[in-house]
Structure 1
Amino acid sequence: MNPRERRAARHQPPNPDAETDPRPRRRKAPITVDQVIDTALDVIATEGYEALTMRRLAGALDTGPASLYAHVVNKADLDELLIGRLCAALALPEPDPTAWRDQIRGVCTQIRDQYLDYPGISRAALAMAPTDLETMRVSEGMLAILLAGGVAPQAAAWAVDALLLYVAAYCLEASIVRQRAAHDDDAWVLDRDELLRRLTALPAVAFPHTTRHAAEITAGTGHDRFDFTVSLMIDGLARR
């Protein structure tokens, strides 16, 4: 079943000719797609994306896994809905030829912050064929900004893909680092001074550039590297 058919199935009205059980039964309030998404995001926010399984989600909704499939076709379909929900919260500017660099940088920053609120969720965006309307709205908006800035259509199309891929990979790495830092043996990964010490302790004959520029290699705080890389990509487009 393709994404369009899946969405159509979600919104099919009940069949009035279907047989009903005349015996009165106490029923729980029906689960909605929005509840499924909200609950899935809650699980990710507290336990991380890797903890989200259909069974775990069903438990959080106090239902059985089979009942979820009335709303979500499979895990890939759930991933698409989750990324679509995050995209729905993004504000896209009206393309401005004089400010297109700042605009595209701002959209990337919004996506980054959304992903980082839900550790590991950017994994769901990788290798995803965008079909959700909200996801498509974001890619359409990014494409419009780049085209308004004078970027050639082919370069703009690939640049949108490259920027989204980088943002997702950056956030995924951040979630992995955070997860590893929870273990005492891996805490040094976040310690810049320790990493600097290890690099400068390397034999200079074998690693002359690494030892000489260890300070530059380990420099940066917060999202400095993110800002640098996104700006580098955008400036490359401007030069084209």
Structure 2
Amino acid sequence: MGSSDAGEVVRSRRERPAKPALTRQGIIAAALAILNEEGLSKVTMRRIAAALDTGHASLYVYVRDVEDLHAQILDALLAPVVDAAPVAGTWRSRLKALMDGYGQVLVARPEIARMALSTQPSGPNYLALVEAILALLHEGGATDRAAAWGVDLLLLFPTASAVERTAPKPSKHATGDLAAMAAAIAAADPGRSPHIVRLGDELISGDGRSRFGWAVDVLLDGILAAGSRARTGQSR
């Protein structure tokens, strides 16, 4: 009877379907599935290992650490950004659309937006995004250094903006903070704050999209101007 039971165990193990080979792509896919269903806080090595029916130590052959995992998750989410960017229009309008697309990815996933502030991706989708930005800056006339250094600023702004827009706060505060600011401006002393009083309406004007586009324009103008100053040898 004992040998029969052992035979049953052996047969059942042999009949189990083979597990798919562990790969970096498979690990990232599992991480994204957990992210979508349970949130970033649940994306741990042990949770991914459980989803893949393997030991968590085996994941480190393919993913260096949690920071590397986060960078790969962000890179995977960037896949549609460059593909969805318009190919028609001025270099500036295309670049602004690219920045908007990147920002929308982060706004849609607040946890990823906060994580992106301290994560440096280097995967193929991130490099494709950087390449697209550099190409458009070159088309717009930016110098090599201004374009290379400007990429950081252009990516940092949508990231920080997404974090601000998606910061957790009670819904009742969404309009309350703006109303409090408007009241403070209206009550400002013209003697102590003449510029605030004069520009009070402008300080709180415009919606988020308009301000985002304006800010990107300011960054682009600054990048172009910095290159122009460098060419002529001017200093600040």
Q: Which TM-score bucket, shorter chain as reference?
A: 0.7 to 0.9
Structure 1 residues 212 and 132 mapped into 2: Cα distance closer, same or farther (>3 Å)?
Answer: same
Aligned CA-pair RMSD: 3.5
Give the 5 Å matches for 1:72-151.
72-91=63-82, 99-151=90-142
Structure 1 residues 42 and 167 mapped into 2: Cα distance closer, same or farther (>3 Å)?
Answer: same
How many Å apart are 1:148 and its aligned residue? 2.2
State yes or no: 1:217 paired with 2:203.
Answer: yes
Unaligned 5+ segments in structure 2 are: 1-9, 229-236
- Distance in 2 (CA, whole Å) between partners of 1:120 and 1:37 is 14
Q: What is the aligned partner in structure 2 of residue 3 from structure 1? A: none
State yes or no: 1:205 paired with 2:191.
Answer: yes
- Distance in 2 (CA, whole Å) between partners of 1:193 and 1:64 is 53
How many Å apart are 1:81 and its aligned residue? 1.0
- Distance in 1 (CA, whole Å) between partners of 2:176 and 2:80 is 30
How many Å apart are 1:105 and its aligned residue? 0.9
Structure 1 residues 195 and 60 mapped into 2: Cα distance closer, same or farther (>3 Å)?
Answer: farther
How many Å apart are 1:125 and its aligned residue? 2.6
* Structure having the higher Rg: 2
Return the TM-score normalized by structure 2. 0.72
- Distance in 1 (CA, whole Å) between partners of 2:220 and 2:66 is 34
Structure 1 residues 23 and 173 mapped into 2: Cα distance closer, same or farther (>3 Å)?
Answer: farther
Amino acid at match of 1:132: G
- Distance in 1 (CA, whole Å) between partners of 2:53 and 2:197 is 57
Select the structure that is richer in helix.
2
How many Å apart are 1:171 and its aligned residue? 0.7
- Distance in 2 (CA, whole Å) between partners of 1:201 and 1:63 is 63
Q: What is the aligned partner in structure 1 of residue 161 from structure 2? A: 170
Q: What is the aligned partner in structure 2 of residue 228 from structure 1? A: 214
Structure 1 residues 35 and 225 mapped into 2: Cα distance closer, same or farther (>3 Å)?
Answer: same
- Distance in 2 (CA, whole Å) between partners of 1:64 and 1:197 is 58
String of CA shifts for 1:169-218, please: whole Å, max 9, x gaps. Answer: 11111111xx1134x5xx15555334311332244433332233222111
- Distance in 1 (CA, whole Å) between partners of 2:46 and 2:204 is 39
- Partner-residue secondary structure (3-state), 1:180: coil
- Distance in 1 (CA, whole Å) between partners of 2:180 and 2:58 is 47
Identity within the alignment, % = 24
Structure 1 residues 202 and 73 mapped into 2: Cα distance closer, same or farther (>3 Å)?
Answer: same
CA contact (8 A) 1:188 1:194 kept: no
Amino acid at match of 2:33: T
- Distance in 1 (CA, whole Å) between partners of 2:105 and 2:135 is 21
Q: What is the aligned partner in structure 2 of residue 7 from structure 1? A: none
How many Å apart are 1:128 and its aligned residue? 3.6
Q: What is the aligned partner in structure 1 of residue 59 from structure 2? A: 69
Once structures 1 and 2 are overlaid, which stretch shifts more, 219-228 or 189-198?
A: 189-198
- Partner-residue secondary structure (3-state), 1:181: coil
Unaligned 5+ segments in structure 1 are: 1-21
CA contact (8 A) 1:41 1:118 kept: no
Structure 1 residues 82 and 75 mapped into 2: Cα distance closer, same or farther (>3 Å)?
Answer: same
- Distance in 1 (CA, whole Å) between partners of 2:196 and 2:111 is 31
Structure 1 residues 172 and 190 mapped into 2: Cα distance closer, same or farther (>3 Å)?
Answer: farther
How many Å apart are 1:127 and its aligned residue? 4.4
